[in-house]
C-alpha cells in the first residue's frame, strides 16, 4: 500500500469568482452534469475511511474547487473530526487547501492554524493584473479582499503560498509581479501556465500564453531569482525548485514535472473519483467512494490506461539533451498526433530556449544551495 494523495472538490465547480481562464469550468462543461453537487459529510467520511484503509506511511487531503471554502467552515471541522475517528498509528495525515481567498475571516484562519492546513492563495500579482482576469460573479474587483485575507493568514501565522496563473500579459509583466511578491514578503510562489479549453485550438483566447512569451518569461524570472540568490536571498519558486532538485540528485515533486502521470484520486461532489484534476471527465471516472475501494480504483483498467499512456516518450525527447530536466512536461500540455498519441509538450521550444541559455547558471544555483544545506 502506498502513500495516498486525495484531491477533494467539496463544492464541485461552484465558485464565488468568475476567472476568465478557469479550466475547471470548461472541464465541467464537458461532463453530462456540470455541477456535481456539494459533497455530503456522509460521502466525505467514506472518502476518509477508504483513503486511510489504502494508505501506508502518509495520507494527504487537498481541497480544491471551484472554491472549496463554499462548503463552509463546519464541513471542514467535521472533516478533521472524521480523520481523527479513522486515524491509523502508521499513517501521518496532512491537509492543504487551494483557495481564491476572497472571503476568509478570523474563524477560517484560526481553523487553518490550529489544524496545520497549508493554504494556497491564488493571486495574480499587483491589483491591475489580478483584477483583469479574477473578478467575482458580479464583475467586481477582488484584489483588495484577497490581500486582506492574506494579512489575516499572516496575523494567525498560517503557512501559505502564492499561486499565479500565467497568461500572456502576466508573462510579459514578470518583473512587476516578482517585485510585487518580494515587496510583500511572499517567499513561496508557483507559476502555472493557463490552460485553454479542451478541444479548442490554442491561441484563440485573449489570455493565451504563447510559446515565445513563456520562454522569455522563464529566462527573465530566473534572472530575477538568481540575482537574489547571489545576494543571499532565496525565494521558493516551484518549477525552479523541482529543476534544482533534479540537478542535486533528487526527484521532482510536482506532478507535471515527473515525466508521467500518477493517480491523484480526485473526488467530485457526488463521490465520483477521477485520476487527475485536469481530466475530471465522464469517460475517466474510476468509480465512486463508498462503492469502490481505493485499491480497486487505482488498479482499474481506466486508471492503468491513463497511467500507461503518459509514459510514452517521443523519439525527439529521447534524443534531447534537456529531457532529464524537462521530461516533456504535463500531459495536458502535450500535443496529440494524428494517431491520438500525446507527443511533445506545446512548450517544448520555450523550455529549450530556457535551458540552452540558462542551464549553466541553474547548475551554479544548485551548487550554491548545496553549500547552504
- In the residue annotation, 241 being an active-site residue is answered as no
- pLDDT bucket at 335, cuts 50 / 70 / 90: confident
Per the omega criterion (within 30 degrees of 0), is the bond before 66 cis?
yes
Q: Which residue is associated with the grid cell 535551458?
A: 355
> Average pLDDT of 152-166?
99
**Range 138-167 burial, b when 16+ CB lie within 10 A, else e:** eeeebbebbbebbebbeebebebbbbbbbb
Above 70 in pLDDT, residue 337?
A: no
28-37, 188-197, 254-263: least confidently modelled range: 28-37
Above 90 in pLDDT, residue 129?
A: yes
Which homologous superfamily is 4-311+347-372 in? Aldolase class I (3.20.20.70)
> Average pLDDT of 129-156?
99
Tens of pLDDT along 20-71? 999 888 777 777 776 678 999 999 999 999 999 999 999 999 999 999 999 9
Average pLDDT value for the chain = 95
SS3 106: helix
Per-residue pLDDT at 41: 98
Q: Which of 194, 143, 279 is nearest to 21 (CA)?
A: 194
Q: Which residue is associated with the grid cell 510536482?
A: 254
Q: What share of the chain in percent tops pLDDT 90?
A: 87
> Average pLDDT of 144-172?
99
Per-residue pLDDT at 2: 80
Per-residue pLDDT at 338: 62
26: Cβ contacts below 8 Å, ≥ 6 apart = 195, 197, 198
Above 70 in pLDDT, residue 321?
A: yes
Give the DSSP H/E element, type plus range, for residue 357: helix 348-372
- Considering 228, 277, 282, 292, which one is annotated as catalytic? 277
Sign of CA dihedral 48, 54, 60, 65: negative
> Average pLDDT of 220-226?
99
| Spatial separation of the C-alpha atoms in residues 16 and 71, rounded to whole Å | 12
Tens of pLDDT along 264-300? 999 999 999 999 999 999 999 999 999 999 999 999 9
Question: CB of 157 within 8 A of CB of 151?
Answer: no
Question: CB of 67 within 8 A of CB of 122?
Answer: no
| Spatial separation of the C-alpha atoms in residues 279 and 264, rounded to whole Å | 11
User: What residue segments make up the domains of the chain, in order of their start?
Assistant: 4-311+347-372
Tens of pLDDT along 339-363? 666 689 999 999 999 999 999 999 9
Amino acid at each position: 500500500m502506498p502513500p495516498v494523495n486525495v484531491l477533494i472538490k467539496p463544492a464541485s465547480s461552484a465558485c464565488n469568482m468568475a476567472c476568465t481562464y478557469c479550466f475547471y469550468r470548461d472541464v465541467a462543461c464537458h461532463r453530462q452534469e456540470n455541477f456535481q453537487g456539494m459533497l455530503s459529510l456522509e460521502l466525505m467520511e467514506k472518502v476518509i475511511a477508504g483513503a486511510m484503509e489504502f494508505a501506508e506511511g502518509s495520507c494527504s487531503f487537498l481541497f480544491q474547487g471551484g472554491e472549496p471554502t463554499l462548503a463552509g467552515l463546519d464541513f471542514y471541522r467535521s472533516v478533521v473530526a472524521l480523520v481523527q475517528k479513522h486515524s491509523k498509528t502508521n499513517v501521518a495525515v496532512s491537509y492543504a487547501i487551494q483557495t481564491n481567498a476572497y472571503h476568509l475571516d478570523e474563524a477560517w484562519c484560526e481553523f487553518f492554524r490550529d489544524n496545520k492546513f497549508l493554504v494556497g492563495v491564488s493571486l495574480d500579482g499587483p491589483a491591475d493584473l489580478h483584477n483583469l482576469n479574477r473578478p467575482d460573479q458580479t464583475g467586481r474587483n477582488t484584489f483588495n479582499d484577497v490581500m486582506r485575507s492574506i494579512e489575516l493568514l499572516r496575523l494567525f501565522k498560517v503557512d501559505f503560498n502564492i499561486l499565479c496563473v500565467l497568461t500572456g500579459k502576466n508573462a510579459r509583466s514578470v518583473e512587476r509581479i516578482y517585485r510585487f511578491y518580494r515587496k510583500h514578503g511572499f517567499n513561496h510562489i508557483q507559476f502555472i501556465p493557463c490552460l485553454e479549453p479542451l478541444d479548442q485550438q490554442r491561441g484563440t483566447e485573449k489570455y493565451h500564453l504563447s510559446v515565445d512569451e513563456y520562454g522569455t518569461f522563464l529566462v527573465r524570472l530566473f534572472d530575477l531569482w538568481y540575482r537574489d540568490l547571489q545576494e543571499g536571498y532565496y525565494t521558493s519558486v516551484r518549477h525552479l525548485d523541482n529543476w534544482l532538485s533534479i540537478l542535486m540528485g533528487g526527484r521532482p515533486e510536482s506532478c507535471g514535472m515527473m515525466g508521467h502521470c500518477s493517480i491523484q484520486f480526485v473526488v467530485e461532489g457526488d463521490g465520483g473519483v477521477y485520476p487527475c484534476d485536469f481530466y475530471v471527465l465522464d469517460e475517466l471516472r474510476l468509480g465512486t467512494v463508498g462503492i469502490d475501494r481505493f485499491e480497486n480504483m487505482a488498479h482499474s483498467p481506466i486508471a492503468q490506461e491513463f497511467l500507461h499512456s503518459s509514459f510514452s516518450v517521443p523519439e525527439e525527447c529521447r534524443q534531447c539533451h534537456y529531457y532529464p530536466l524537462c521530461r516533456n512536461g504535463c500531459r495536458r500540455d502535450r500535443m496529440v498526433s494524428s494517431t491520438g498519441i500525446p507527443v511533445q509538450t506545446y512548450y517544448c521550444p520555450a523550455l529549450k530556449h530556457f535551458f540552452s541559455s540558462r542551464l549553466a547558471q541553474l547548475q551554479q544555483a544548485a551548487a550554491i544551495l548545496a553549500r547552504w544545506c
